[in-house]
Chain A
Amino acid sequence: MKDFSEKIEKQLYFKGFRLPDIRSILRIQIQICGIAIVAALCTVWFSVWPITFAIGAVIATYSFFSVAKFIQQIILREYDRSMLWGMLFRFYGRLLIVGVVVAALIVKAHVPMMALVSGLATSMVTMLIWMISRQNERKTKEA
């Protein structure tokens, strides 16, 4: 499990996530998303709820991944005009994709709302987990 976490963090580093805190938050989010997908695939024959939850988790992960990448690119990289246009295009493209997918799921597919909202809330859960673990680390260091 530790190796797997390290592998995810390595991949994130190569993707341009230079800040360790952000990498660890994203790692937790990706792990939660992966667990949700596996659980959904295992229970897809019984209910629509898990697959909707997994889709919500994937949307939350994608959204958080894009925001984190966008902000890091803004702050840490040198500007040039083409990069700026590319970043803006990707940012608004991502917003459009998330909006269209959520609208299609709710309006066309009539998925269970509570499952979708719970899946989207996984990013909040991730941040809570990260904050708690960080506080625990601090306490351990102080002790």
Chain B
Amino acid sequence: MRKFLMIALNTVALISIAAVAFAAEGANTYGDLVYFGAALGMAIAAAGCGIGQGLGLKAACEGTARNPEASNKITVALILGLAFVESLSIYALVVNLMLLTA
């Protein structure tokens, strides 16, 4: 139940944060800094997601090597984890494109 609550709260937080980006709509008074910010934001998102995916993959490979019988369960967890991480990078792309077009 606690895990479910945590996941649900995180999802709500992610969706509500997107609204903050809308607040910046039409307020492009920072000139080229917006482009810099978008590029920096995408770089940070890509780096974070890359590190996260790498750590997940490393742990999955180690787990499978130690216990090959558990490879199916590990694969399911790995795919779910990678999909979660990758969706975060797509959100970052969307928010950065929003910044660029604002």
Question: CB within 8 Å of B: which residues of A?
Answer: 19, 21-22, 25, 59-60, 63-64, 67-68, 71-72, 75-76, 98-99, 102-103, 106-107, 110, 113-114, 116-118, 120-121, 123-124, 127-128, 131-132, 135
Contact indicator B94/A116 (Cβ below 8 Å): yes
Contact indicator B75/A63 (Cβ below 8 Å): no
B80 — which chain A residues lie within 8 A by C-beta? Answer: 25, 127
One digit per residue, 1 when the CB lies within 8 angstroms of any chain A CB and 0 when it does not, for chain B 67-88 equals 0000110011011101110110
The majority secondary structure among interface residues of chain B is helix
One digit per residue, 1 when the CB lies within 8 angstroms of any chain A CB and 0 when it does not, for chain B 3-15 equals 0100110010011
Measured CB to CB, the closest approach of chain B to A51, in angstroms, equals: 17
B22 — which chain A residues lie within 8 A by C-beta? Answer: 113-114
The majority secondary structure among interface residues of chain A is helix
Total residues of chain B contacting the partner, CB 8 A: 30
Q: Counting CB contacts under 8 A, is B98 at the interface? A: yes
Of B79, B94, B100, the most chain A CB neighbours within 10 A belong to B79
Sorted nearest first, the 7 A-B pairs with minimum C-beta distance are A106-B97, A21-B76, A71-B79, A68-B79, A64-B83, A67-B83, A75-B75
